[in-house]
A = this chain, B = another copy of it.
Amino acid sequence: MENFLEMSSGQLKATLDDLTLKYNHFKNMNLNLDMSRGKPCSEQLDISNEMLDVITGKSDFIAKNNIDVRNYGTFDGITELKEFISELTDIKKDNFIIGGNSSLSMMFDAITYFMTHGTNGQKPWIHQEKIKFLCPSPGYDRHFSICEYYGIEMIPVKMQENGPDMDFIEDAVSSDFHIKGIWCVPKYSNPQGIVYSDEVVKRFANLKPIAPDFRIFWDNAYFVHDLSDESVHILNIAKECERSKNLELPIIFYSTSKITFPGDGIAFMACFGENLKNFKEMYSVKTVGFDKLNQLRHFRFLKDKHNLYNHMKKHRDILKPKFDMVINSFEKHFSKNPIIKWNSPIGGYFVSVDTMPNCAKLTVELCRNLGVKLTDAGATFPYGLDEMDTNIRVAPTYPCKEDLQTAIDVFCLCAKIAFLKNKFKKEGH
């Protein structure tokens, strides 16, 4: 097996020539494959199709408390769905606001509230001199886009095996008054699939921010999205914050986007104290109510915890072989040729790849030239700036298995070519 790190310059050149032939072969195939977003595939969507049959024109439209879900009202969501999410998350039902189809929108709304109204006796963020957010990186590009939209300065925080660098975070929030928030995806983090350890969650709950209006945006997007049959449990941030008397620190988000339909799911927000009061006030002004028919549809389809876990197993049965395919290919190509590193996620939607420095952008570009679309290199970092140019987010869920194998073959080829081209460039060839 070839190992680029041990080969002579001549051997490497011959290899590059050889790989270039393969590259041209793919070029002629006019591929059009997409590994750019954490998007479920059609097969996954199909397993929720029956949800569209649980409410028909002849159904009973009455939810608990005699609410006709077709009519106006109940801006914070129907009771049975609050009970459902409460059972799943072990957070009291009355701490939930159920939204529309987008948890991202609820995050946006929460930050907008703090921008325009402020919290905890502090000036609205927009009237403060400067607002900064801590951004564990690599992370979710859409979180970072919200910060950019509001001109919030982003400070990258290194991700470690068990979560973000807590020493750095504790130090930063206790010394910098301008730091008002942090983005967290605590379970199967996007894109590395990292699970926050109990210690990390506890340290979050015990943060002592110097800014009274510092908040943790706890986007638990993958809370039941396991890739192994054993579900991984993380500590309940709400409970830990109750213990540390820091109850207003976290704002917690969930969504059924990757449980039922990505475009037509239900978003949930859990929060406490003033946060809950403030966001309820905001939503009562902003809307007469979210789509309660879809809320009832979800409740009647998902039913309870047990049924939900059965449903998630169907997703897993589709996804696991795809993730295996990616990992197996990486092992085949790179276990003895260690020019890239990757994680082997046990949940979530991504495989995170680290190339050698200065090779990520080129790899993505080469793939794109062959018709294989990846998330832009750097997109997983604030401002799109991956200083070392190493991280690539691979999203294996959307293509069918056959396409995925082709796409991964292309990826492995391009990663090798990028390494070689970068090496020769560096050496001035």
Interface residue ranges, A against B (CB under 8 Å): 37, 39-40, 42, 45, 48-53, 55-59, 61, 68-74, 100-102, 104-105, 108, 112, 115-116, 124, 126-127, 142, 145-146, 148-150, 257, 261-264, 281-282, 285-294
Contact = CB atoms under 8 A, between A and B. Distances in A.
A143 B51 CA distance: 36
Contacts of A293: 52, 261, 263-264
Given A101-B291, A116-B116, A290-B101, A264 B70 contact: yes
Contacts of A51: 57
What are the nearest 9 A-B pairs in CB distance?
A49-B57, A264-B293, A70-B261, A72-B262, A108-B286, A102-B287, A45-B70, A149-B285, A53-B57
Given A74-B263, A263-B289, 10 more contacts: A37-B72, A45-B70, A52-B55, A100-B291, A101-B289, A124-B126, A149-B282, A262-B288, A263-B288, A294-B294
A106 to B, nearest CB: 10
Contacts of A286: 102, 104-105, 108, 146
Contacts of A126: 116, 124, 126-127
A42 B100 CA distance: 23
Contacts of A101: 100, 289-291
B288 A264 contact: no
Nearest to A100: B100
Contacts of A262: 70-72, 288
Contacts of A264: 69-70, 291-294
A42 B70 CA distance: 9
| Max chain B Cβ within 10 angstroms of own Cβ: one of A101, A126, A146 | A101
A221 B43 CA distance: 39
| Max chain B Cβ within 10 angstroms of own Cβ: one of A48, A53, A145, A150 | A53
A116 B115 CA distance: 8
Contacts of A61: 45
B116 A150 contact: yes
Nearest to A54: B57
Given A73-B263, A264-B70, A285-B145, A290 B100 contact: yes
A71 B39 CA distance: 7
Nearest to A281: B149
A263 B98 CA distance: 14
Nearest to A99: B100
Given A52-B57, A53-B57, A55-B52, A102 B142 contact: no
A297 to B, nearest CB: 9
